[in-house]
Amino acid sequence: MAAEPVVYGASERPPRGDYARANADYTCAQDYAAYTSEDHDTYRRLYARQAALVPGRACDEFLAALPFLGASDHIPRFDQINERLRRATGWEIVGVPGLIPEVPFFTLLANRKFPVTDWIRTAAEFDYIVEPYIFHDLFGHVPLLFNPVFADHMQQYGKGGLKAHRLGACELLSRLYWYTIEFGLIRQKDGLRAYGAGIISSPGELRHAVESAEPARLPLEIERAMRTRYKIDSFQQTYFVIDSFQELFDKTAPDFAPIYARLIALQGRGRMVAI
Ligand code: PHE
Ligand code: FE
């Protein structure tokens, strides 16, 4: 059975990816021959812009692993990244045509496979696009998969996602994902740094998250993060801060079922959203 396209939220245009290429689990081979020289050049420019911004703003673990993505002047081959990634943490990346549904997404993570959108934005979209795409997925997410504690956390998240799906709590868990894996901050010896992929792959948000006096920065609290709605099309007003990836792992280890039950009950009474 071919995979159906997925759209989250209201969108004016259909999803870009070609879902006819995908297998039933939504993965597809990276179509390397399909990249044009403009695509490679867009990647090169995005990489160069972001690589100049991450020192002093992205966390040490990210900076240490960034070179493992390989060449920065063209789109890397997933196979080559996988040779290094499998050796480091047993993870691998798999191609997908775009956003995929919750269950296949969680299933991949639970099996230590990270889905990477294989297409790149056009030069006209250089500065902004809402959909995830290869640069965000690779540059933002993949370096931390080389870190053993973070890598284990991502797998636990996948297993927890399957459980949240059974309990009707995916929206609550997705807020936690948003405020940690996508927009998390970490306190390190030299100060506040970003580890979330949504921050690390965005030139504007990287400065806003780490340096601006505007946003609130709260210590990570699971329930609070799950109660905090997020916007996908503007900088965050609230960030949650951890002191180490071990803290993230430990804080997310307890059974979330009672938390979901409590928040869903509050939601029923219209009192769930904190901010
Ligand atoms: N401990 C969570 C649960 O019981 C699962 C989880 C682990 C969620 C890690 C997020 C991150 O549902
Ligand atoms: Fe992402």
CB 152 within 8 A of CB 249: yes
DSSP state of 20: G
Alpha-carbon span 49 to 57, nearest angstrom: 14
Least Cα distance to 93 among 51, 134, 126, 150 occurs for 134
Cβ of 161 closer than 6 Å to ligand 1, yes or no, is no
From the list 61, 92, 131, 136, the catalytic residue is 136
Known catalytic membership, residue 4: no
Cβ of 165 closer than 6 Å to ligand 1, yes or no, is no
For the CA atoms of 194, 102, 96, 84, the dihedral, rounded to the nearest 10 degrees, stands at 50
Strands 185-188 and 113-117: what pairing? unpaired
Cβ of 253 closer than 6 Å to ligand 1, yes or no, is yes
Burial class (CB in 10 A: 0-12, 13-18, 19+), 214: exposed
Query: Which residue's CA is the closest to the ligand 1 atom numbered 1?
Result: 253
Known catalytic membership, residue 136: yes
**pTM attached to this predicted model:** 0.92
What is the reported pLDDT for 275? 44
Note the ligand closest to the C-alpha atom of 174: 1
Least Cα distance to 141 among 149, 132, 130, 129 occurs for 132
CB 235 within 8 A of CB 204: yes
- Kindly give the number of the ligand 1 atom that is closest to the alpha carbon of 177: 10
Query: Which residue's CA is the closest to the ligand 1 atom numbered 10?
Result: 157
CB 233 within 8 A of CB 202: no
Which stretch of DSSP H or E encloses residue 196?
Answer: none
From the list 141, 153, 202, 205, the catalytic residue is 141
Least Cα distance to 139 among 250, 79, 62 occurs for 62
pLDDT by 10s per residue, the chain, length 275 = 446 555 544 445 556 778 888 999 999 999 999 999 999 999 999 999 999 999 999 999 999 999 999 999 999 999 999 999 999 999 999 999 988 999 999 999 999 999 999 988 877 776 766 666 899 999 999 999 999 999 999 999 999 999 999 999 999 999 999 999 999 999 999 999 999 999 999 999 999 999 999 999 999 999 999 999 888 888 999 999 999 999 999 999 999 999 999 999 988 766 555 54
